[in-house]
Amino acid sequence: MSKINKLREKANRVNSNTEQKTSETFLNVFGQHDRKDIKIDPALQSFIPPLNEEEKSLLEESIRKEGIREDLLLWYEEKKGYILIDGHNRFEIIKKIEAKGEKVNYGVKVLDLPNFESVKDWMLINQLGRRNLTNEQRSYLRGLKYERARNKVGRPKDLDKLGQNDPNNSGKERVSEVIAKEFNVGEKTIRRDADFARGIEKIGLINLELKREILKGSSKLRKSILQDIGKIDLPPSLTFDDSNDVIKFITERKTKNSEADKKNGESIFSKDKKAVIIALQSLTEKNKAKDFNKIIKMIEILRDSTKN
């Protein structure tokens, strides 16, 4: 055998051994978290915008024809085991297909992340990098990222004096400004995103399925309603069975606030009106021209009260 052939044979043996070791490593890792041991964490799953029915149907068709092209990504936690952090929609379809006795081949990778919070941060960044997000889903994820970043920064003692709720530690640039630049949107957009995300999260704590409907785009709730929900503290006993309950709650709340404002305005109006009448009577009785400017000012206050 020539030297060249011997070298080729040696190279082939090395390549074969390398491939075998790689395969064995993968199988060993996979064996530690058999598909039945892959856990779904609801808190992490909520970071994944669900697919609408058409998207889900297309994905299932693709999986049946071409299989799973991207590995499922897992994170290992000592107490919980292997937790799915990317591929929830694919995994749901895999289980659906295999429940009918068919086999679906797929790979897995385990990401080395230090803790649960870092997993959330990674998932947010990963999801925001997807191209098929709706405007609402992108707004929700940006809002979540802002909220998480703001909470890490903390709230300074002079927060109310600043007039904003998101300064960072350096004092040079607000969190909302940093994130706005990252996504090339306005700072106010990021803060509105935060209200939107908070509203969806609050609804999710009451009705998780309704939250999923909102993120799928199958809910009739307007963005402004969800932003309103994000700005208020909801009663602990409140329940939302569907979108209509949310709309009803916000409508009733606005009506009550409007009536309260009107009542308060009427009270102020009544008080100012009495003051003007007394002043006019005093001017008439005592003919004091020096009180004229005071009366004019009172009339202007009364006029402004009627406008409001």
What is the structure's pLDDT at 281? 65
Which token pair is 33? 């978290």
Residue with tokens 């008439």: 284
pLDDT given at position 158:
36
In whole angstroms, give the CA distance from residue 174 to residue 170. Answer: 9
Q: What is the pLDDT of residue 272?
A: 61
Question: Could you list the mean pLDDT of each consecutive 10-residue stretch along the chain, which spans 308 residues?
Answer: 44 39 35 66 87 91 91 91 94 92 90 93 92 92 94 53 45 85 94 96 93 90 94 92 94 82 58 63 59 69 60
- Among 250, 153, 233, 135, which residue's Cα sits nearest to residue 193? 135
Confidence (pLDDT) at 182: 92
pLDDT at position 185 is 94
Per-residue pLDDT of 223-245, as tens digits, reads 999 999 999 999 989 999 999 99
